[in-house]
Amino acid sequence: MNTVTAAAQADLTGEFAARTSRSAEHYRQACACLPGGETRSVTLYQPYPVVLAEGHGAVVRDLDGNEYVDVLNNYTSLVHGHAFGPVLEAVAAALPNGTVFPAPHPAQVRLAEMVCDRYPAVQRVRFTNSGTEASLLALRIARAATGRRRIVAFTGAYHGGVPDIIDGGPDTVRVPYNDADQAVAVIDASVAAVFVEPFLGSAGVVPAAPGFLARIADRAREVGAVFVLDEVQALRNAPNGTHAALGLQPDLVLMGKIIGGGFPVGAVGGRTELMDLTSAARPGSLSCSGTFNGNVITMAAGAAALAALDGSAIAELNGRAHELGSRIEAAAARAGIPASVTRAGSIMHVHLADRAPTSAEQADAVPAAWESALHLALLLEGVYAAPRGMLDLSTAIGDDLLAHVAHGYASAFGRIRDLITSRTP
């Protein structure tokens, strides 16, 4: 790293530290009881994370009183922003009557019916407390249905903290995303399940190449493997799910994030024959109890959030994201630094590279120091995006806040220009 880069970085860090002393103090305290000072890996960044104390609509405030326009929305889950009125009302109405019961509750059927009506691949649904648990359950269903163990997944894809997928193992085969030929070659009659995201979310919002997903789905069907489409992030992008928008018929769909209205949630939905393997009414069924599965608060909040996310709300979100992406690319061009924005619906990623990546490997090629400099510069401009460069919009963002975000990127690019242009990757 040359001196210009080091100096530019020190300036950013110094400015950040000068306005976030309470967060710094909190971080010291947190390190004494939480490993690394956090309880969620993605929330840690250098020199320490700002501590968010409250959020209203599209604006969040940290312990020192600094405000940020939130374009992360708890990693796509808060599709209506913070403290959304209909969610608050639904939760307030439910709370006095108890939050969770070791029994069925009408709120479960209400959300289940909404999900089944809305997403054509979902004939039956089972709720969990996270997308990770939904992945785990889908894997068990696929193995039980096929009597096979192998899984095919894609490099950079994130399906939650599922050991077989995240850590790999003897039963897991990884294939580069968008490499349909290689995928088709390894998906054979020994494979229980193929897990795929409609776009690589965590690994840089890399879109699927045209026809890629359909080829994978066809091949899985041909060899009797279960085709699992992970829509934990993607569900927000199309009124009937991305599978409907793309004409795909996954055997199982993983859901999460928006269907919980901001509360912990996950779900597996899909074909009745497969989902019925989890029916406790059947002898030898797959047991899948979770103490908080289908809790009343999540169910009520999820129903309120989904009801407010109709086709026109989604079209507006996606349109705004398109507009913001163009403004960010134009600002980068004006600042003379390489940047490209990839987008899936209302989820985007700003890559500090001339060309949009088509795989996780390409998305990973940007120096981490550039990404963290952009992230810190954005915080200084009052924009709260993911440290790795991802952002997404909520329905709470209006024209003024969108303009603030676009302006924030323009200023942040100016701040980091010498850092980026002093070196090529």
Q: Write out the residues near ligand PMP by the rule CB under 6 A.
A: 75, 130-132, 135, 158-160, 197, 201-202, 230, 232-233, 256, 266
* Smaller CB separation from ligand PMP, 234 or 331: 234
- In angstroms, the Cα distances linking 341 to 176, 228, 236 are 21, 27, 19
- In angstroms, the Cα distances linking 217 to 23, 144, 193, 208, 364 are 47, 19, 11, 13, 27
* Smaller CB separation from ligand PMP, 232 or 337: 232
Q: What's the closest the beta carbon of residue 233 comes to ligand PMP, in angstroms?
A: 4
Q: What's the closest the beta carbon of residue 220 comes to ligand PMP, in angstroms?
A: 18
The residues, ordered by sequence, that sit 6+ positions from 347 with a Cβ below 8 Å of its Cβ are 76, 199, 201, 205, 233, 236, 237, 321, 390, 391, 392
Residue given tokens 């980068």 in the structure block: 332
Are 100 and 296 in contact, with CB atoms under 8 Å apart?
yes
Q: What's the closest the beta carbon of residue 187 comes to ligand PMP, in angstroms?
A: 20
The single-letter DSSP state of residue 24 is: H
Are 254 and 134 in contact, with CB atoms under 8 Å apart?
yes
Q: What's the closest the beta carbon of residue 302 comes to ligand PMP, in angstroms?
A: 13
Return the structure tokens found at 65.
């009183």
Please give the backbone phi and psi of residue 85, each rounded to the nearest 5 degrees, phi first: -45, -60
Three-state secondary-structure class, residue 120 = coil
* Smaller CB separation from ligand PMP, 135 or 362: 135
* Smaller CB separation from ligand PMP, 158 or 413: 158
Q: DSSP assignment of 194-247, as one string?
A: EEE-SEESTTT-EEPPTTHHHHHHHHHHHHT-EEEEE-TTGGGGSTTHHHHHHT
Q: What's the closest the beta carbon of residue 77 comes to ligand PMP, in angstroms?
A: 8
* Smaller CB separation from ligand PMP, 62 or 392: 392
- Give the end-to-end CA distance of the chain in Å, rounded to a whole number: 11
Q: DSSP assignment of 391-424, as one string?
A: EE--TT--HHHHHHHHHHHHHHHHHHHHHHHTS-
356: left (phi over 0), alpha (psi -120 to 50) or beta: beta
* Smaller CB separation from ligand PMP, 75 or 154: 75
Q: What's the closest the beta carbon of residue 160 comes to ligand PMP, in angstroms?
A: 3
* Smaller CB separation from ligand PMP, 375 or 404: 375
* Smaller CB separation from ligand PMP, 25 or 45: 45
* Residue at shortest CB range from ligand PMP: 131
Q: Is the peptide bond prior to 47 cis by the omega test (within 30 degrees of 0)? A: yes
Q: 176-199: buried (b, 16+ CB within 10 Å) or exposed (e) per residue?
A: ebbbbeebbeebeeebbbbbbbbb
Q: What's the closest the beta carbon of residue 199 comes to ligand PMP, in angstroms?
A: 9
Identity of the residue numbered 145: A
Q: What's the closest the beta carbon of residue 106 comes to ligand PMP, in angstroms?
A: 25
Q: What's the closest the beta carbon of residue 420 comes to ligand PMP, in angstroms?
A: 28
* Smaller CB separation from ligand PMP, 202 or 242: 202
